[in-house]
Structure 1
Amino acid sequence: MIDHMGIKVADFDRAKAFYDAAFAPLGASLLYMVPAEYTGGVKVGGYGRERPIYWLHEDKPAGGHSQHVAFTARNRAEVDAFYKAAIAAGGTDNGGPGLRTHYHPNYYGAFVFDPDGNNIEAVCHAPEGV
């Protein structure tokens, strides 16, 4: 249902370093930077696996409002690796890898606050061992 989305980040380079590390285990990377002549010099870049779907836009984030975005992991090992990489890249724990059966019997996720306070999650819905 979602084609793409974007968030505001206070420091694009800091956010880029975080997302480069956090998304690597999920097989996603920075795929496109919008040329500065189209943005008035504001840094805008899109992450994804095959095409950009998650966009960072350098701007002042809305005060007191964080976003929650969950990214699909292909297996539970990717969730674990995402969490480890995101924490090592400066993220803050918001719920380590594990089952959240109150959502769904196979809901395996991990939650991290990014440098701007957004609640970023990796989740796998496949049964263990798949």
Structure 2
Amino acid sequence: MLDHTGIAVGDYAKSKAFYMAALSSIGYELLLEVPAELTGNQDAAGFGVAPKPDFWVSGGGPNIPPINLAFRVSSRSLVDAFYAAAIAAGGSDNGRPGVRPHHHPDYYGAFVLDPDGHNIEAVCHEPGAS
């Protein structure tokens, strides 16, 4: 079971703003920022549902190759909201919201590339959940 994860990005301020906008649609907030003076390396922003961040973004250059990261949500409408918010925040379409039956019959997901080309996804596994 994962406790938290993170990615490295090329432009910390731009990516922090992107994730603040995109993830707010699924209930995530910027919960903590840790400056480079404390990390010993780069600034870091922790996102999640209070009280604990579980997704971190740090500066210093993007992961190469870009990674895939999926956020599980409880309804298809949250997948739709995530996609709209991420596109409005400057993300690039990498798969509009829809059922992906090659994963399983109720896999409803949307895919957006973040400013560094990381594939960020929101997914709902509930049958016909709205």
Q: What is the TM-score normalised by the length of structure 2?
A: 0.93
- Work out the CA distance in 1 between the residues paired with 2:74 and 2:20: 18
Cα deviation for residue 39 of structure 1 reads: 2.5
- Work out the CA distance in 2 between the residues paired with 1:7 and 1:44: 10
The count of corresponding residues between Structure 1 and Structure 2 is 129
What's 1:58 paired with?
Answer: 59
- Greater CA deviation, 18-27 or 39-48? 39-48
Alignment of 1:1-130 (within 5 A): 1-40=1-40, 42-50=42-50, 51-63=52-64, 65-129=65-129
- Work out the CA distance in 2 between the residues paired with 1:85 and 1:46: 19
Cα deviation for residue 116 of structure 1 reads: 0.6
Identity among equivalent pairs (%): 53
Runs of 4+ in 1 over 3 A off after TM superposition: none
When the two chains are superposed, the root-mean-square deviation of aligned CA atoms in Å is 1.4
User: Match of 2:74, SS?
Assistant: coil
Contact 2:79/2:122 (CA < 8 Å) preserved in 1?
Answer: yes
AA in 2 matched with 1:87 = I
Cα deviation for residue 40 of structure 1 reads: 4.1
Cα deviation for residue 42 of structure 1 reads: 2.4
- Work out the CA distance in 2 between the residues paired with 1:109 and 1:46: 24
| Long gaps (5+) in structure 2 | none
Q: What is the TM-score normalised by the length of structure 1?
A: 0.93
- Work out the CA distance in 1 between the residues paired with 2:35 and 2:11: 18
- Work out the CA distance in 2 between the residues paired with 1:74 and 1:95: 19
